[in-house]
Amino acid sequence: MANRSPQTVTILLTTFNGARHLGAQLASYTAQSHADWRLWVSDDGSTDETTAILRRFERGPAGQREVRMMQGPGAGMAANFLSLLQHPDLPDGPVALSDQDDVWMPHRLARGLDLMNRRPDARPVLYAANTIQTDADLSPRRMQNRAGLRPSFANALVQNIIAGNTIMLNAAAMRAIRATMPPRPDVPFHDWWLYQLLTGIGGEIVFDETPCLYYRQHHANLLGSHRGTRASARRLRLIANGTYGSWVRQNAAALSRVTPHLTPDAADRLGEVLATSGQGGLPRFRSLRRAGVFRQGRPAAGILSLLSLIARV
């Protein structure tokens, strides 16, 4: 294949039995004002019409653009996305992560590229678009409110504030990720891991307050919205049953494999978190305080202190 422009965006899409909404997502790619893109798809063993829809898209609406399909690892969404990010043949350049059931606005790629290109080329940048959350039929519900969020490694160690379907990465970020990330990292969420990795190596997080995609909420979403009564109840269940704490420990263990690549400050913070991993009481409380970790918002900060005392983080 001929050499492509540095501004060719590789869309990374993972699929699994997504036939119901996939067509709308694919159509939104072809409506992009930035038309220079290629599509890489990793399917995790769909048994519905997903692969047939993708093949029809490849033969028709995609035009002359590259559409590459491959078999996923069959180990969940995080492993599927990370397998794409680590694929040895993945072209150099910016990437955009995509879920199978959203709809992109026409400026989604162009705006992400514009904001990333305002930074120095050598700086790893993770761009996170804003979204309009909708119901299953794409009727708008609300726009995501991220006012006051402070992205940092200290926050990333205990909280994810970035949704994977909003992420774009510049070429420098992709090169850093591929040089840093261990093979098949055992992490619960790819977006949380990317947030940790980029802030840990000194990269920049760029939040865009302009909505760029419709984020479809439906019963099959793994986590879905972070707002509302149901979301709050779900978080409480994850805390009470120890799931949240296991995620924090799992991420920290994965990060320990990349410590040489972290900034000195990030390595020190991670060391404090690892020092009392699995413990509770005052040792854990003091360790997390020395690490300076925090969750966004005053109530969340107080909850984190309590969780450390009762060995839930």
pLDDT digits (tens, 9 = 90+) for 101-143: 999 999 999 999 999 999 999 999 999 999 999 998 888 888 8
Residue 172 within any structural domain of the chain: yes
> Does 265 lie in the same domain as 121?
no
Structure tokens at 310: 């009762």
Residue 220 has pLDDT above 80, yes or no: no
| Residue 165, token pair as written in the block | 């379907």
Residues 106 and 17 in one domain: yes
Q: Average pLDDT of 65-84?
A: 97
Domain assignment present for 222: no
264/149 same-domain check? no
Residues 248 and 105 in one domain: no
- Which tens digits make up the pLDDT trace of 16-64? 999 999 999 999 999 999 999 999 999 999 999 999 999 999 999 998 9
CA distance 302 to 279: 18
Position 4 in a domain: no
Checking if the pLDDT of 2 tops 70, the result is no
Q: Is 52 in the same domain as 190?
A: yes
Q: What is the pLDDT of residue 147?
A: 79
Which is higher by pLDDT, 146 or 228?
146
* 180 — pLDDT class (breaks 50, 70, 90): very high
To the nearest whole number, what is the mean pLDDT of the chain?
Answer: 92
Do 36 and 129 sit in the same domain of this protein?
yes
Q: Average of pLDDT values for 269-284?
A: 94
Q: Which pLDDT belongs to residue 6?
A: 62
Domain identity same for 156 and 264: no
Residues 39 and 155 in one domain: yes
Domain boundary at 172, 189, 216, which? 216
- Classify residue 223: in a domain, yes or no: no
Residue 207's pLDDT band (boundaries 50, 70, 90)? very high
Residues 88 and 237 in one domain: no
The verdict on pTM exceeding 0.85 is yes
Which of 216, 247, 275 is the last residue before a domain boundary? 216
Is the model's pLDDT at 149 over the cut of 60?
A: yes
Per-residue pLDDT tens digits for 241-251: 889 999 999 99
Task: Examine the domain organization and report whether 118 and 38 are in the same domain.
Answer: yes
Confidence at residue 226, expressed as pLDDT on a 0 to 100 scale: 53
Inside any domain, residue 245: yes
Token readout for 173 is 């970020």
Q: Distance between CA atoms of 74 and 215, rounded to whole angstroms?
A: 24
Q: Is residue 224 part of a domain?
A: no
Residue 156 and residue 287 in one domain? no
261 shares a domain with 132: no
What is the number of domains present in the chain? 2
Domain with 37 in it:
9-216
Separation in Å, CA 92 to CA 5, 171, 185, 298: 10, 6, 21, 41
User: What is the mean pLDDT of the segment spanning 139-148?
Assistant: 85
